Structure 1
């Protein structure tokens, strides 16, 4: 208890951490959720008494997993018996790979198809289906009640989407591949068909922590709750999230209710809440609290709680002047409010708007740095071997990066093991050898080719003799080449330089440009939100438009520490988002 107090945790956080049983924790924005998770993990690691015990933490993103792991390691704890990652990684490591022999579709081997390859396959299939035309974007899906369910809100496309998915699954089966949703599907099938799997895991895991429970899919709850139920209370739960930020429902997110979780898990669970906001000013907290769907009392406890926040709403500007207005707001933030570049975020509802906006702002504000879509040459292909290796070769050695890069070296060794390649190096030895590779090359693609060649030579691997590594190699470079070609077509010739490649794994810097979904979990001094229009916020086919609009505005507004600028521009043939337009608030006038 004294350690938790000295670490700066409040009474609410300490009560949740010290509860001996299972916890269902509702955490408002800026309430120290990550800090609470970190110290709960730390306390559980201290209690481990057997080499067969594990603490498991399931996060929504790999970035969140990295952040929490680094915080735990920063406390000086041994993390050998901590497993942390996404639900897909969890299912692969703990269910599918150990028990694939019991699933006919997987028992003769399988590989994970990368997202670019999956999209390319779906686009090829869709192109053969005629009109009305659909693309891989339309074919996003998730499993519900054992059936592939299209995520597209356009029900008129569902018949064609199901036809495309049917052919897609046939090809994947023939090529012994599975995608991310099939990982969940087969993990659920295995744990449902063979209850002994859940029993075994419940004897190993002393606790399973779930971050962002409101964004977790229903099938994911069926998987982890099977483990809880099989353990008869041996495995505790620590479930954390905020139903007011459940903006992934149209993507399959399932904000499970407390009673439903208790029913599925068969656990005795205690409800807790975190209601103190340590992020935003009192005025910002008051503002975003208006848009909460689920009633919650939020109190401002931030150091900046008395900051005289500027909160503005512009619904009179035309779309042709939107870019000018954003430039003015950036300059106003920098020059009048003394906000640094890396504390400014521009948020829009759809990626297509943002890529073009990023390029134009870079041209108009050359004195500023930007972190937006289309600026780096390849995406986060997390299960691609060469992406794992690129994290080491494109990051710079240094004390502040050592723990992270050591973990990446471990990921490379694990991936080699999965490909049947034996390596005598420990992760520290491998990292030391990789640090010695010195490539003098300014072109990013050529740099990677030469580095990867040096890596293969170091470990005496013939990539032509390993289909897995070869396929990943071709996919990695094909995807990167296409991104570079698209960027150069749009006038971004700098994208193929090695320094731009290195941006992928550096801490974010400059003005952030992101979607509402992409910025979730982040925080900035100043937030600029635009295109806050009916049909966009929320989407015009959203089945719960009023509730979804409130949650989206809640997420945008609660990212801000100090100042908030909201825009519903005219000229897009859409009206301002109703819940925003109807909110009678004393907005701040801005004089440029």
Structure 2
């Protein structure tokens, strides 16, 4: 049951039915509390006078949304009154798609460019405008719909050409989804009024990672005072302020959302890490909160090791030896993570670790031949076709099948929602094997899926259009990256990883592992040069301490913080250990 073993703090937050700011330290059961609160709202719709309105939950990542959906499914609770997804999904589903006739740029069709394609275009433009390949480029537009850079500088021209490219090719990126939604809501106030009538409760997870423009979009709904709002997060984990996130306190939120009142509650105590780990990452707090381990690992003899003696050429072997040591102690591969400050460093270390990984497998950075555009309905079918039916995958397959059913209904391929069980039976009986050319396999399983469900395949339907879009994007991706993958290779991109994970420091937020090994803790990397140049020491300290706090608090048992030496910048600067360590 969802309420079993909740603490008094957690249960108070679950039952509280008014505007709420809930602060949650690492490992304090934030997700458990959020899921329980959603269960409580769904189970008490009548007494809470929710009626036919929706409960909306905004998560920072699709993974977080999927995790919550799967937990709700495991409890067997009817979640038809719940909508959950990222702010970008919210804008697409609630703002853009129902009002696409009001957006001339999109009404004739569009495709969402994924992050890999976007980065490839940015890299091409960096070369054209002679901009350092490591320079961070802010492609999102301001509230005035203009580049954030001053006119006349190379970065302004780069961003302008990037957006011209998007427009000419009927593409939009995730930042543009936000910009278009903001403009639509500001120019058509009736849309906000309509949304406020549709939503009874709005819950925002990781609220500290919300940008000003995203706050404005959400306030278009909440400020009508017909929606109860809950903000959940931890200002100590605000690692995206350099990318525009704004940390608001209780007073700021009350003003932004025009609330009559908002209560503030906290979740204290860490159910994840040993006390030694907690004591270490507490050094990076600004709030000086006394966090106590409530975990079964409270008194575990954790290793907390800081090292700045390793040369970068020896880093891969050193990390591999740490991994092998803990594997020999019985720790599972999937309970070990290696972190790097950038995706470039992730790719480099992944490649070098391969030389020393005879005793373990690596789940590193891989570019999928199929763009994982969440807006394309057929990605769900591909996932189901590749995800083996098993007890372990039961809930996940149910969740994906439910999403696929909703997509089919939304694009009018079906007159009513198809039961997930029927979807799964159709998928399990697909006769097309994952062999040969990827594009041919995708087309084959989609058409076979129509056949198994007795649906008519129409070349002019949205389903067929989505298939062609996915096939074109896949062909383009494989050509751009000179890929020669076949359908039999797809499992590695779509199935759950089971090896040692290698990822970026920022992307590990929300995760937890027995062993965390963080590399690249060097000034210029953490904090990044763009948070150093022309920035105050106060800003540098803030950014570095937030990231160190998040990284260290992912560890349950053991933590390694490595500042390898031997790096030299183009200007001759020898990188030194992150000062804030």
Identify the TM-score tier after normalising by the shorter chain.
Answer: 0.7 to 0.9
Residue 586 of structure 1 corresponds to which residue in structure 2?
none
Residue 264 of structure 2 corresponds to which residue in structure 1?
271
Match among 323, 329, 345 for residue 330 of structure 1:
323
Match among 14, 28, 33 for residue 36 of structure 1:
33
Contact conserved, 1:419 with 1:468, CA < 8 A, in 2? no
Distance 1:185 1:385 in 2: 24
Residue 118 of structure 2 corresponds to which residue in structure 1?
119
Q: 1:475 to 1:117 in 2, by over 3 A?
A: farther
Deviations 1:258-299 (A, max 9, x none): 221110112211111112100000000000000112332211
Residue 501 of structure 1 corresponds to which residue in structure 2?
490
Two-structure CA RMSD over aligned residues (Å): 2.9
Distance 2:211 2:133 in 1: 24
Residue 68 of structure 1 corresponds to which residue in structure 2?
68
Distance 1:296 1:204 in 2: 39
Deviations 1:391-444 (A, max 9, x none): 122112345434433443444455456666557772433432222113344457
Runs of 5+ unmatched residues, structure 1: 489-494, 581-592
Runs of 5+ unmatched residues, structure 2: 568-573
Distance 2:172 2:152 in 1: 22
Contact conserved, 1:31 with 1:274, CA < 8 A, in 2? yes
Q: How far off is 1:235 after superposition?
A: 1.1
Task: Report the 3-state secondary structure (helix = DSSP H, G, I; strand = E; otherwise coil) of the residue aligned with 1:525.
Answer: strand
Distance 1:111 1:348 in 2: 35
Distance 1:256 1:366 in 2: 48
Distance 2:273 2:482 in 1: 39
Structure 1 length normalisation: TM-score? 0.86
Counting only pairs closer than 5 Å after superposition, residues 477-516 of structure 1 correspond to structure 2 as 477-480=475-478, 482-483=480-481, 485=483, 496=486, 498=488, 500-516=489-505
Distance 1:363 1:52 in 2: 58
Q: 1:541 to 1:345 in 2, by over 3 A?
A: same
Deviations 1:492-541 (A, max 9, x none): xxx7572x422333333121111101111111111111111000011012
Structure 2 length normalisation: TM-score? 0.88
Deviations 1:203-249 (A, max 9, x none): 2212111111111222111111121111x2x3111111111111112
Contact conserved, 2:342 with 2:504, CA < 8 A, in 1? yes
Contact conserved, 2:300 with 2:557, CA < 8 A, in 1? yes
Q: Does 1:461 align with 2:457?
A: yes
Task: Report the 3-state secondary structure (helix = DSSP H, G, I; strand = E; otherwise coil) of the residue aligned with 1:26.
Answer: strand
Contact conserved, 1:26 with 1:241, CA < 8 A, in 2? yes
Distance 1:191 1:441 in 2: 44
Distance 1:172 1:515 in 2: 27
Q: How far off is 1:115 after superposition?
A: 1.6
Counting only pairs closer than 5 Å after superposition, residues 274-353 of structure 1 correspond to structure 2 as 274-335=267-328, 337-353=329-345
Q: How far off is 1:327 after superposition?
A: 1.7
How many residue pairs get matched? 559
Task: Report the 3-state secondary structure (helix = DSSP H, G, I; strand = E; otherwise coil) of the residue aligned with 1:541.
Answer: helix
Residue 164 of structure 1 corresponds to which residue in structure 2?
158
Residue 95 of structure 1 corresponds to which residue in structure 2?
95
Q: How far off is 1:137 after superposition?
A: 8.2
Q: 1:284 to 1:469 in 2, by over 3 A?
A: same
Distance 1:541 1:56 in 2: 35
Distance 2:133 2:415 in 1: 41
Contact conserved, 1:125 with 1:164, CA < 8 A, in 2? no
Contact conserved, 1:344 with 1:525, CA < 8 A, in 2? yes
Contact conserved, 1:125 with 1:167, CA < 8 A, in 2? no
Residue 388 of structure 1 corresponds to which residue in structure 2?
380
